[in-house]
């Protein structure tokens, strides 16, 4: 079998989660904070999205029902009709074109133009199965030999390391600075590039995740300019993972897309950029729908045609994901029948995330031996945990990383399932974990005290 597949690791669903599933099957209550899967931990779907999705799927019992206008809000019915026009007679059960239906890609392009104030073209948009499939297609297309490198932020979302391992390319780590709110410095980027050149590695692409997973930072214009310039100057394709663009909680921060910054930074006119977005995150959380897109900017026409060929081999992304993407980028507007309820539901989700992001960081920072940067955005915190020499030595004896020992103990003692920091990459000698703040207040707020009491007990048990 493929040794590359054997080598792949994906900690978000790794050893700790498998144990959590086992304990749950034995009847233990588990609080799953290991994965950004909002609806799996109680987030309710937004009504408007589900109404439109249902109507587009149902014929005689839905859009063609004589009473449809009395059963659904007017704007829902209109939107479902528009979607039917886009898909044509074949409807939601047929393959679309490989890149996704043109009408939905037009919606995405309009959204991007409004968001960034710069032109966007449906021809440069590829609809995808979540962001994951788009990221995989791009990495597959970019890497051709073992010495083709991709620069990845550390800590990173482990899809990147997993795919690079699967594609047998070279992962070039660039460390984010925890003391500087997880920013990437120009010096680090340049040093890592220099080292990889000396090792014979040809760096093809660089990944940024903004807002950050697992780190929760929201990059400012200056930080993005540094990245854009670095990539532009060195002929490196920038891969901007922007799936958390709606998840910004820090009052003094706003999401800025890499494309906007590149287009407004002199010297970056020719930056090759691919940006990713998804219906799984934001305030939507429709992870199972598998919707998303990528936008190509300044990508060579031949490379684009190869990406198209690759997309053709998978026929098309899921049609309900394509519809969901169109709804995400073009939601109800003021004056529409559904607007008030839509706003209320979205605000409720946003305020809950914002409240818990603050509560979790504050609660963890009160614990002696835990240190946590603010969660300015995304859905995660990534605290640093002080571990004793005794705990580290014991973990080594057990053939696990020290933070795996810690997270396993947290799971067994409290039922909280998190992911060890080592699964995302971190500086040598740093230990920690990633937790989401997705579960509802009634679960998450008491969990903060459980994190604290577990840390005290664990530290006492392994005191040097």
Binding site for ligand PLP (CB under 6 A): 36, 130-132, 157, 159, 209, 213, 241, 243, 278, 280, 287, 292
Rounded CA-CA distance 384/379 in Å is: 17
Based on the number of CB atoms within 10 Å of its own CB, is 83 exposed (0-12), middle (13-18) or buried (19 or more)? buried
Residue 100's region, left for phi above 0, alpha for psi from -120 to 50, else beta, is: left
- Report how far residue 212's alpha carbon sits from residue 247's, in angstroms, rounded to the nearest whole number: 10
Q: How far is CA 57 from the centre of its chain?
A: 28
- Cβ-closest residue to ligand PLP? 130
Closest CB 379 distance from ligand PLP, rounded Å:
8
Q: What is the DSSP string of 312-357?
A: HHT----HHHHHHHHHHHS---TTSTTHHHHHHHHHHHHHHHHHHH
Q: How far is the CB of 378 from ligand PLP (least distance, A)?
A: 8
Least distance in angstroms from the C-beta of 162 to ligand PLP: 11
Smaller CB separation from ligand PLP, 176 or 367:
176
Q: Smallest distance, Å, CB 154 to ligand PLP?
A: 14
Of residues 166, 169, 162, the one with CA closest to residue 205: 169
**Cβ at position 322, least distance to ligand PLP in Å:** 13
Least distance in angstroms from the C-beta of 213 to ligand PLP: 4
**Residue 311 three-state SS:** helix
Among residues 424 and 462, whose Cβ is nearest to ligand PLP? 424
Nearer of residues 10 and 175 to ligand PLP, judged by Cβ:
10
Q: Report the nearest approach of ligand PLP to the CB of residue 390 (Å).
A: 34
Shortest distance in whole angstroms from residue 34 CB to ligand PLP = 11
Tell the smallest beta-carbon distance from residue 272 to ligand PLP (Å). Answer: 20
DSSP codes, 378-428: TTEE--EE---HHHHHHHHHTTS-HHHHHHHHHHHHH-EE-EEGGGT---T
Minimum Å distance from CB 289 to ligand PLP? 9
Of 68 and 154, which CB lies nearer to ligand PLP in the complex structure? 154
Q: List C-alpha distances in Å: 45 to 35, 67, 337, 342, 430.
A: 17, 25, 18, 11, 37
DSSP string, 138-151: HHHHH--STTEEEE
CA distance 332 to 339: 5
Q: Which helix (H) or strand (E) holds 153?
A: strand 148-154
Q: Is 15 exposed, middle or buried (0-12, 13-18, 19+ CB in 10 A)?
A: middle
Q: Which is nearer to ligand PLP, 375 or 405 (CB)?
A: 375
Q: Is 283 helix (H, G, I), strand (E, B) or coil?
A: coil
141 neighbors 163 (Cβ within 8 angstroms): no
Task: Give the nearer residue to ligand PLP in terms of CB position, either 36 or 73.
Answer: 36
Task: Report helix, strand or coil for 197.
Answer: helix
Rank residues 272 and 279 by Cβ distance to ligand PLP and give the closer one. Answer: 279
Phi and psi, residue 205, nearest 5°: -145, 160
Partner residues linked to 371 by β-bridges = 384
Q: How far is CA 31 from the centre of its chain?
A: 21
Q: Nearest approach, Cβ of 204 to ligand PLP (angstroms)?
A: 19
Q: Which is nearer to ligand PLP, 76 or 131 (CB)?
A: 131
Q: Which is nearer to ligand PLP, 174 or 462 (CB)?
A: 174
If the CB atoms of residues 39 and 168 are measured against ligand PLP, the closer one turns out to be: 39
- Between 160 and 458, CB nearer to ligand PLP: 160
């Amino acid at each position: 079998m493929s040794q590359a597949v054997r080598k792949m690791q994906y900690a978000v669903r790794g050893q700790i989660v498998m144990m959590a599933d086992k304990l749950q099957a034995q009847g233990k209550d588990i609080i799953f904070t290991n994965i950004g899967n909002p609806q799996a931990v109680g987030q309710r779907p937004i009504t408007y999205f589900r109404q439109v999705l249902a109507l587009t799927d149902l014929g005689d019992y839905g859009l063609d029902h004589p009473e449809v206008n009395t059963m659904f809000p007017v704007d829902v019915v209109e939107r479902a009709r528009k979607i039917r026009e886009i898909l044509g007679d074949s409807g939601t059960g047929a393959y679309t074109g490989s890149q996704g239906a043109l009408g939905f890609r037009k919606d995405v392009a309009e959204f991007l133009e409004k968001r960034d104030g710069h032109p966007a073209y449906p021809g440069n948009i590829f609809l995808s199965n979540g962001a994951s499939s788009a990221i995989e297609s791009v990495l597959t297309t970019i890497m051709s030999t073992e010495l083709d490198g991709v620069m990845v932020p550390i800590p990173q979302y482990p899809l990147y390391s997993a795919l690079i391992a699967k594609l047998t390319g070279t992962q070039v780590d660039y460390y984010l600075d925890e003391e500087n709110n997880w920013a990437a410095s120009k010096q680090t980027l340049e040093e890592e590039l220099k080292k990889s050149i000396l090792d014979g590695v040809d760096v093809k692409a660089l990944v940024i995740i903004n807002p950050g997973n697992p780190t929760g930072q929201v990059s400012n214009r200056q930080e993005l300019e540094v990245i854009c310039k670095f990539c532009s100057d060195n002929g490196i394709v920038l891969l901007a993972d922007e799936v958390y663009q709606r998840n910004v909680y820090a009052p003094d921060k706003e999401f800025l897309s890499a494309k906007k910054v590149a287009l407004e930074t002199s010297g970056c006119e020719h930056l090759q950029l691919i940006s990713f977005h998804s219906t799984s995150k934001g305030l939507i959380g429709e992870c199972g729908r598998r919707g998303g897109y990528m936008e190509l900017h300044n990508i060579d026409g031949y490379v684009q045609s190869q990406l198209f060929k690759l997309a053709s081999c998978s026929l098309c992304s899921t049609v309900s994901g394509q519809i969901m993407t169109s709804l995400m980028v073009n939601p109800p507007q003021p004056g529409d029948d559904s607007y008030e309820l839509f706003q209320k539901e979205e605000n409720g989700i946003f305020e809950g995330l914002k409240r818990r992001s603050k509560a979790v960081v504050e609660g963890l920072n009160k614990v002696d031996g835990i240190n946590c940067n603010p969660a300015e955005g995304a859905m995660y915190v990534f605290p640093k945990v002080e571990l004793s020499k005794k705990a580290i030595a014991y973990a080594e004896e057990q053939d696990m990383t020290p933070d795996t020992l810690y997270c396993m103990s947290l799971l067994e003692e409290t039922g909280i399932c998190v992911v060890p920091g080592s699964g995302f990459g971190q500086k040598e000698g740093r230990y920690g974990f990633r937790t989401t703040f997705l579960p509802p207040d009634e679960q998450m707020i008491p969990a903060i005290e459980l994190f604290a009491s577990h840390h005290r007990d664990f530290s006492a048990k392994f005191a040097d």
